[in-house]
Chains A and B, each alone.
Chain A
Amino acid sequence: MAKRNKIIYWIATLWLALGMVSTAIVQLMQMKEEVDNITHLGYPIYILTILGVWKILGVVTVLMPKFPLLKEWAYSGFFFAMSGAIVSHLASGNPINAVFPSLLLLVLTVISWYFRPADRKFNSINQSIKT
């Protein structure tokens, strides 16, 4: 069971990291497709830089060992960014399949977070007293 969870965690986490790094790179390079995409959603182009920088920092934080509190911040950032992207696509009247890439990264974020092993998780003292 523990081994199965570890496999699920690493597949989801590596897939998530790959997706975040690759989209961050094209956003930081301001590739035409990304510029068109973000303009269509109604956002300013400089937001590509903000998102790209945070995504790279988030991937580094999630992949490195230790720093469980910082990992929570990284997961929350991924969650807010991807859920925001989904809402933005829907609010801009995009077809439902435009939502798919952000939805995939959102699902991978949740799976990676849910299956994070004990040494990457915050166990609060309050919880440990109860159990």
Chain B
Amino acid sequence: MENQKSKNIPFWVVTGLLCFGMLAGGTAQLLRATPNVEGMIHLGYPLYVLTILGVWKLLAVAVILMPKYLLAKEWAYAGLFFLLSGGVVSHFASGDSVLQALPVFVFMCLTVASWYLRPADRKLTLIN
């Protein structure tokens, strides 16, 4: 049991960072903070996308942090992956440098790492 718990430490470190980032980013998007607004305009997206992304990010954090609801967790991870990988592609498609795409890329990697490291009680397992 002790061993099981210590194995979960990397998961919680990665998941903590991911959730903190999504919470901060989602809140800033919902409040339409100036850097977020300017960033969206630069990428060529409409501003109402900030509201859509902000709402989904906050919901994803809630689903990932709470216990149980394993299927909803998969949907949350998938949603974050599509959102953040789309963000990386959007930066490159807008002619941004690697450095500008880096923050989104890091959060995409944290999403994959959190998903990969999720402990057994947060994982769907096939019976057949």
Chain B 85-120, CB-CB to A under 8 Å as 1, else 0, gives: 010011001100000000000000000000000000
Is residue B78 within 8 Å, beta carbon to beta carbon, of the partner chain?
yes
| Number of A-B residue pairs with CB-CB distance less than 8 Å in the complex they form | 81
Interface size class for chain B? 20 to 34
Q: Which residue of B lies closest to A51 (CB)?
A: B86
- Other than A43-B49, A126-B68, give 9 A-B pairs with Cβ distance below 8 A: A42-B46, A43-B45, A47-B86, A68-B126, A72-B124, A76-B75, A87-B48, A88-B49, A126-B70
B82 touches A54 (CB 8 A): yes
Dominant SS among interface residues on chain A: helix
Contact A76 B125 (CB under 8 A): no
Number of residues on chain A facing chain B (CB within 8 A): 29
- Contacting pair B48 A91 (CB below 8 A): yes
Check B90–A124 contact: CB distance below 8 A: no
